[in-house]
Amino acid sequence: MSLSANRFISRPIVATIHTDAFRHNLGRIRELAPESKIWSVVKAKAYGHSLEAAFKGLESTDGFALLDLADAQWLRDHGWEGRILLLEGLFSQQELERVIRLRCDLVVHSEKQVVWLESLKNYSGHPINIFLKLNSGMNRLGFRPAEYRTAFHRLHAAGYHLHHMTHFANADQVERSPSVGEQMECFNQTTEGLEAPSSLANSAAILWHRNALGDWIRPGILLYGVSPTGVHADIVRSEFQAVMSLRSEIIDIQNLKKGDYVGYGGRYEAPEDMRIGVIAGGYADGYPRHAEDGTPVWVDAADTQGDGVICPIVGRVSMDMLTIDLREAPNAKIGSVVELWGNEVPVDDVAQMSGTIGYELICALAQRVPVLTD
Ligand SMILES: *Cc1c(COP(=O)(O)O)cnc(C)c1O
């Protein structure tokens, strides 16, 4: 079926979110860390997949971790009764009332947040769960080891239910400092004797540092079937599935003569007479403008006799369109379906050809692209 057969959508570019792939990926993570509970990280509109789709596919998670109270509110409004963690905690003291009403767990990473929480008087509800964040070497958020234990004792005295938390800077690569081993050593030393559940691993640690998981793991990127390293080959054996497919259509075809140039700046020169396909999809849709010639685009099987073929980008990506070399797809025509990323073309591969990582591309999917779930 042609994508534009959906009568609500005229321009053919559409992102489809495969909720079964969400379920599959969550199941794979449970197999990798059967002893841990799972915070499904759905910040940034579930890494561009929409909170709605993530909620549908990840309902069996133990909790959702996010940044914005509005998203916590959305989950409660739609019936989520389980736990919600605010990954950066309170941005202001005023938020505390809503946090309590929405029954959120809080990360606490700064002295200021401790003071706000200590000032809560006459609260008689359920103890609030705090994930106290240790800066074990990443030097972004969290208490330095020398201050961590004091913060722990103050919040404990104020009646909060405490957990230990830290975040790894290099769980995806062995040779960089601080290593997971160094950060774990700092974590173990600092928290020694302070009994509390822990939350340690992000996606990369879940795959490659099984001794550094903690009672609550915090997978983000793996839930979406994208590689924590930026290299798709690194997760192939772990059998994660791409959750987002970004598809569009060929909206026009040009017959070039040898020596003709394509697009802005004339970056590509035709080495022979050839056809190029013009696709509805450009940087205003979230496709990276930096994509080099050779970046893969998949052209649907229906028009290529077989499994579909990869046709490389030729010429600079523009705001609303991009252009591909159709020499490998002689039957491709106007209306042929293409995949810009998804199961046929890993978003990691597009990212690598554009000087970035899959995380950035999925998060940057533009508002104007309709998101459907299946
Ligand atoms: C975003 C985030 C994660 C998830 O990281 P991935 O690499 O996507 O698995 C985990 N923990 C914290 C604190 C985060 O901010």
Token look-up 């940034």 returns 44
φ and ψ at 33, to 5 degrees?
-140, 65
Query: Measured between alpha carbons, how far is 204 from 230 in angstroms, rounded to an integer?
Result: 11
Q: Where in the chain is the domain with CATH 3.20.20.10?
A: 19-231
pLDDT for res 4 = 47
For 32-41, how does the pLDDT look when each residue is reduced to its tens digit (9 = 90+)?
Answer: 999 999 999 9
Cα dihedral: 289, 353, 207, 32 (round 10)? 70
Beta carbons within 10 angstroms of residue 328's beta carbon: 13
Distance from the CA of 168 to the center of ligand 1, in angstroms?
9
Distance from the CA of 231 to the center of ligand 1, in angstroms?
17
Query: Does the CB atom of residue 41 touch ligand 1 within 6 A?
Result: yes
Q: Where in the chain is the domain with CATH 2.40.37.10?
A: 244-373
Comparing C-alpha atoms, which of 328, 304, 324, 302 is closest to residue 313? Answer: 324
Q: How confident is the model at residue 175 (pLDDT cuts 50, 70, 90)?
A: confident
Could you say which of 43, 47, 148, 224 is catalytic? 43
Residue ranges of the alpha helices (H) in 108-259? 111-118, 145-157, 180-191, 203-208, 233-236
Residue ranges of the alpha helices (H) in 174-213? 180-191, 203-208
pLDDT for res 122 = 76
Binding residues for substrate: 140, 319
The two structure tokens encoding residue 1: 């079926």
CATH class of 19-231: alpha beta
For 231-277, how does the pLDDT look when each residue is reduced to its tens digit (9 = 90+)?
Answer: 999 999 999 999 999 999 999 999 999 999 999 999 999 999 999 99
pLDDT for res 39 = 98
Q: How many CA atoms lie within 13 A of 6 on its CB side?
A: 13
User: 264 catalytic, yes or no?
Assistant: yes
Query: Does the CB atom of residue 151 touch ligand 1 within 6 A?
Result: no
Q: How confident is the model at residue 1 (pLDDT cuts 50, 70, 90)?
A: very low
- Pair 220, 252: CB distance under 8 Å: no
pTM of the model: 0.95
CATH class of 244-373: mainly beta
Whether 182 shows a pLDDT value over 70: the answer reads yes
**Residues 226, 364, 223, CA angle at the centre, nearest 5°?**
25
For 280-311, how does the pLDDT look when each residue is reduced to its tens digit (9 = 90+)?
Answer: 999 999 999 999 999 999 999 776 666 799 99
Query: Does the CB atom of residue 206 touch ligand 1 within 6 A?
Result: no
**Residues 152, 181, 154, CA angle at the centre, nearest 5°?**
5
Token look-up 């928290």 returns 191
Beta carbons within 10 angstroms of residue 355's beta carbon: 11
pLDDT for res 100 = 96
Which atom of ligand 1 has the smallest separation from the CA of 228?
A: 7
- Pair 340, 368: CB distance under 8 Å: no
